[in-house]
Amino acid sequence: MSRSKSQGQYEVPPSHMITSVFMEYPMGLFMGKFMRELKENARLVGMVCRQCGHTMFPPQALCSVCYGENFQDPQWVEVGPEATVAGLMEIKMPWLNPWTLTLRASQYPVGILMVDAPGRSPGVIWHFIAETDVSKLRVGMRVKAVFKPREEREGLMEDILYWAPVGE
């Protein structure tokens, strides 16, 4: 048996794991309705909590704020299509598209939007704003959702092309 003492790191290639694995996430009953309405009617639906009036956008069976049940006779409401910009992000780096795992970049900035809703709180969403010149944008401005045509919609957030500034 030959014996030797260890000396530092040896050069070997990294262990390279390649697997093509797909996961199937259940969207659920309430998110399911949101996705169907988006796909079929280009409508944004949310719910207003029956217990505390909090706007649930996306719709949820249980309220985030008061934990109240909202599945018996849920209070469906249409949210948007207009919204107020609450914050802006100019994304300067490319990011990964989770559907394809390829890089993508956007010419549009991302806004955090307070979407008009009948509850006591607005619906919150982040999405593209259709204005490449950021200097023309400001917090508090009004925008409106522009949807893809019916045949291109899949019930995903990408069905909204962007939010276009509304003339004042």
Restricting to residues 97-136, name those near other proteins by CB under 8 A. 97-101, 103, 106, 110, 112, 114, 121-128
- Give a three-class secondary structure readout of 52-90: CCCEECCCCCECCCCCCECCCCCCEEECCCEEEEEEEEC
Contact (Cβ atoms closer than 8 angstroms) between residue 145 and residue 45: no
Biggest CA pair distance of the chain: 86
Q: Could you give the strand order of the β-sheet that contains 55-56, starting from the edge strand earlier in sequence? A: 55-56, 45-48, 76-78
Helix (H, G, I), strand (E, B) or coil at 38: helix
Say how far apart CA 55 and CA 20 lie, in whole Å: 39
Judged by CB under 8 A, which of 44, 63, 79, 83 binds other proteins? 63
Closest contact distance (angstroms) between CB of 39 and other proteins is 10
Binding letters toward other proteins, positions 18-47, x by CB under 8 A? xxxxxxxxxxxxxxxx-xx-----------
**Which of 44, 47, 60, 153 touches other proteins (CB under 8 A)?**
60
Tell me how far, at minimum, the Cβ of 140 lies from other proteins, in Å: 10
CB 87 to other proteins: min, Å:
4
Judge whether 122 and 115 are in contact, CB under 8 Å: yes
Minimum CB–partner distance for residue 20 and other proteins (Å):
6
Site mask, other proteins, residues 65-104, x = CB under 8 A? x-x-x-xxxx-----------xxxxxxxxxxxxxxxx-x-
Which residue's CB is nearer to other proteins, number 95 or number 166? 95
Q: What is the DSSP letter of 134?
A: G
Closest CB 15 distance from other proteins, rounded Å: 4
Structural element, H or E, at residue 92: none
62 binds other proteins (CB under 8 A): yes
